[in-house]
């Protein structure tokens, strides 16, 4: 592939339709099945754990206290995950996938075990940080290993399976956490997570046996890492600061630090993102920005149950099911779209994805009102279904586009790992901004719901532009 070729075009040729082995039956059999299971399970552990812990937090605070540190249980986990995701490609190059997954699963298990025995909130947060380091590695490995562990004909389907785990996690995480909370077994729940992680660590050793790393030793890009981490922390702080100047200063500082990160990356030989990202005429940067826009749209899920209960009087169960609509549509759509093999079809799907996501969020936001009746709830569900389909259409194809951006295995692996870094940063930034928009609604839940939904829609609208550029010949 030439340096100036477009990764979105490469995604169209990643799977050869006339290969008799190009199908689900080959991917989901033998060693391929074991590899996909490990990758998908790592993503699922990370995705489910976010919502799982949110459901447990009231029980945790009731037992060990620490209400003042409530937000840091999630913030510490996410920031640690972002930092860890930056080291995925380096860990793979040095040790290979078997050792990389061993480190990731064991670290995750140690953090979960620490949570299980935590006597105070401060120690729980420390455990969550360790768990986040393992989770960030697992999330990044889920994409980065596809390129080296599976034949190219399976990249699209494997990416679809792995990406689907984000939706599955949001479907089952809250319910599972709620069951353990209801039974008063929050410590046992973390012990169970630790045990599951150790089991998959052993399976990973068998699945990736004999696969070595490239041996390439690249130094840690400290100059890029520092402004990126500080930017994430600054924007995350905006969600817990008083609304007004403190919030604006935190967001402004974060945006300046992000600009500094890009400036340092452009001028450095040792980068976090692949060098192709900054090369004039290459579309990889637009692929990442589209991933960020789709990730922003996902964050509306955190607020749907709250809005449903307060505005429509839905029960917690029904409101939770409404929140799962977007994830369910996302999972189903992407499992179908990965079978599209033509260049033109894949480009259309990538372009259509952010458009549907934005349209659905706008409709959902405009119909937020107190005392919503059943017909309005049905409109909400339809709009969220459209949004979920939009995410599902584009997400796996963007992953393949990033993987296909370079024939250099090291650069291709870095490009795949950076999908997770981009995703986690977008989650963190959007979550903080959504918290600020919630606060701007004041006492009116209907106003807060409109601000959050339409504010996130503005972010996803940018994805319509970036998807068009990413897929332009």
Q: For the domain that residue 17 is a member of, what is the CATH number?
A: 1.20.1250.20
Residues 90 and 37 in one domain: yes
Q: How far is CA 65 from CA 72, 124, 174, 373, 408, in A?
A: 13, 11, 21, 39, 51
Taking 50 as the threshold, does the pLDDT of residue 194 lie above it? yes
Residue 370, by phi and psi: left (phi above 0), alpha (psi -120 to 50) or beta?
A: beta
Whether residue 102 sits in one domain with residue 226: no
Average pLDDT over residues 287-304: 88
Q: Give per-residue pLDDT as tens, 43-58.
A: 999 888 877 787 787 7
Assess whether 195 and 214 both reside in one domain. yes
Both 54 and 126 in one domain: the answer is yes
Q: Are 126 and 114 in contact (CB under 8 A)?
A: yes
pLDDT above 80 (res 175)? no
Contact 445/307 with Cβ under 8 angstroms? yes
Say how many residues make up the chain. 473
State yes or no: pLDDT of 445 exceeds 70: yes
Structural domain span for residue 329: 7-218+270-470
> What mean pLDDT is predicted for residues 195-208?
92
- The DSSP-derived string for 81-135 is HHHHHTTHHHHHHHHHHHHHHHHHHHHHHHHHHHHHT-SSHHHHHHHHHHHHHHH
Lowest mean per-residue pLDDT among 206-215, 220-229, 272-281: 206-215
Residue 232 and residue 138 in one domain: no
Secondary element (H or E) of residue 360: helix 343-366
Highest mean pLDDT among 68-77, 306-315, 461-470: 461-470
Taken in order 128, 130, 133, 134, the sign of the CA dihedral is: negative
Q: What is the pLDDT of residues 139-156, one digit of tens each?
A: 889 888 887 788 878 888
pTM across the whole model: 0.76
Give pLDDT, residue 16. 41
Buried b (16+ CB within 10 A) or exposed e, 265-298: beeeeebbbbbbbbeeebbbbbbbbbbbbbbbbb
Per-residue burial over 108-132, b if 16 or more Cβ lie within 10 Å, else e, is bbbbbbbbbebeebeebbbbbbbbb
Q: Are residues 339 and 419 in the same domain?
A: yes
Query: Is 2 within the bounds of a domain?
Result: no
Tokens of 340: 């599209």
What pLDDT is stored for residue 379 in this prediction?
Answer: 96
Are residue 417 and residue 442 in the same domain, yes or no? yes
Residue 14: per-residue pLDDT = 41
Signed CA dihedral, 313, 316, 322, 323: sign only = positive
Q: What is the pLDDT at residue 340? A: 79
Torsion of CA 267, 270, 273, 276, to 10 degrees: 70
Task: Find tokens 């937000």 and name the residue.
Answer: 71
Same-domain status, 305 and 371: yes
Q: What percent of the chain has pLDDT over 70?
A: 90
Is 1 a domain residue? Answer: no
Q: Is residue 202 domain-shared with residue 228, that is, in the same domain?
A: no
Asked if residue 314 belongs to a domain, the reply is: yes
Residues 428 and 453 in one domain: yes
Which of 245, 269, 293 terminates a domain? The answer is 269
- DSSP per-residue letters across 148-161: HHS-GGGHHHHHHH
CA separation for the pair 291, 22 (Å, rounded): 26
Among left, alpha and beta (phi > 0; psi -120 to 50; other), residue 211 is beta
In sequence order, which residues have a C-beta less than 8 Å from that of residue 253 and are 6 or more positions away?
231, 234
Asked if residue 287 and residue 250 are part of one domain, the reply reads no
Examine residue 318 and state whether it is found in any structural domain, yes or no: yes
In a domain, 298, yes or no: yes
Q: Average model confidence (pLDDT) for the chain?
A: 83
Of 133, 114, 104, nearest to 200 by C-alpha is: 104
- Does residue 145 fall inside a structural domain? yes
Residue 53 lies in a domain: yes
Residue 43 lies in a domain: yes
Domain boundary among 269, 301, 333: 269
Looking at the 3D structure of the chain, how many domains does it have? 2
pLDDT value of position 216 = 66
Out of 209, 238, 269, a domain closes at 269
Same domain for 254 and 164: no
Neighbours of 335 (CB within 10 A): 17
pLDDT range class, residue 13, cuts 50, 70, 90: very low
pLDDT, tens digit, 9 for 90 and up, residues 16-32:
444 555 677 777 777 88
């Amino acid at each position: 592939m030439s340096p100036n070729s477009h990764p979105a075009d490469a995604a169209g040729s990643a799977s050869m339709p006339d290969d008799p082995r190009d199908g689900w039956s080959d991917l989901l059999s033998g060693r391929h099945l074991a590899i996909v299971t490990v990758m998908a399970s790592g993503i699922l552990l990370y995705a489910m754990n976010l919502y799982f812990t949110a459901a447990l937090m009231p029980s945790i605070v009731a037992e060990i206290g620490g209400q003042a540190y409530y937000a840091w249980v999630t913030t510490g986990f996410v920031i640690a995950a972002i930092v860890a995701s930056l080291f995925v490609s380096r860990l793979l190059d040095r040790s290979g996938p078997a050792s990389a997954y061993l480190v990731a699963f064991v670290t995750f298990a140690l953090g979960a075990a620490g949570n299980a025995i935590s006597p105070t909130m401060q120690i729980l947060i420390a455990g969550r940080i360790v768990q986040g380091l393992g989770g960030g590695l697992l999330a990044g490995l889920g994409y980065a290993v596809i390129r080296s562990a599976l034949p190219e004909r399976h990249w699209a389907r494997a990416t679809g399976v792995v990406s689907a785990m984000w939706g599955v996690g949001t479907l089952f995480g809250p319910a599972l956490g709620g069951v353990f909370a209801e039974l008063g077994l929050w410590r046992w729940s973390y012990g169970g997570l630790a045990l599951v992680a150790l089991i998959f660590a052993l399976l990973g050793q068998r699945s990736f046996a004999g696969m070595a790393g490239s041996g390439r030793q690249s130094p840690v890009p400290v100059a890029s890492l520092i402004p990126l981490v500080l930017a994430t922390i600054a924007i995350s702080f905006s969600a817990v600061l008083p609304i007004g100047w403190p919030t604006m200063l935190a967001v402004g500082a974060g945006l300046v630090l992000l600009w500094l990160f890009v400036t340092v990356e452009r001028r450095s030989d040792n980068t976090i993102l692949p060098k192709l990202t900054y090369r004039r005429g290459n579309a990889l940067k637009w692929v990442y920005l589209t991933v960020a826009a789709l990730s922003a749209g996902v964050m509306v899920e955190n607020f749907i149950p709250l809005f449903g209960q307060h505005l429509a009087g839905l029960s917690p169960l029904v409101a939770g099911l409404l929140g799962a609509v977007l994830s369910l549509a996302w999972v189903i759509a992407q499992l179908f779209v990965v079978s599209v093999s033509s260049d033109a079809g894949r480009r259309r799907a990538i372009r259509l994805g952010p458009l549907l996501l934005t349209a659905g969020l706008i409709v959902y936001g405009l119909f937020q009102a107190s005392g919503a009746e059943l017909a309005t709830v049905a409109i909400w569900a339809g709009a969220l279904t459209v949004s979920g389909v939009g995410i599902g259409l584009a997400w796996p194809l963007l992953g393949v586009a990033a993987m296909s951006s370079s024939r250099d295995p090291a650069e291709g692996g870095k490009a795949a790992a950076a999908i997770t870094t981009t995703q986690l940063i977008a989650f963190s930034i959007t979550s903080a901004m959504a918290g600020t928009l919630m606060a701007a609604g004041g006492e009116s839940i209907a106003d807060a719901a409109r601000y959050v939904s339409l504010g996130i829609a503005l972010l996803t609208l940018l994805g319509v532009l970036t998807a068009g550029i990413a897929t332009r010949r």
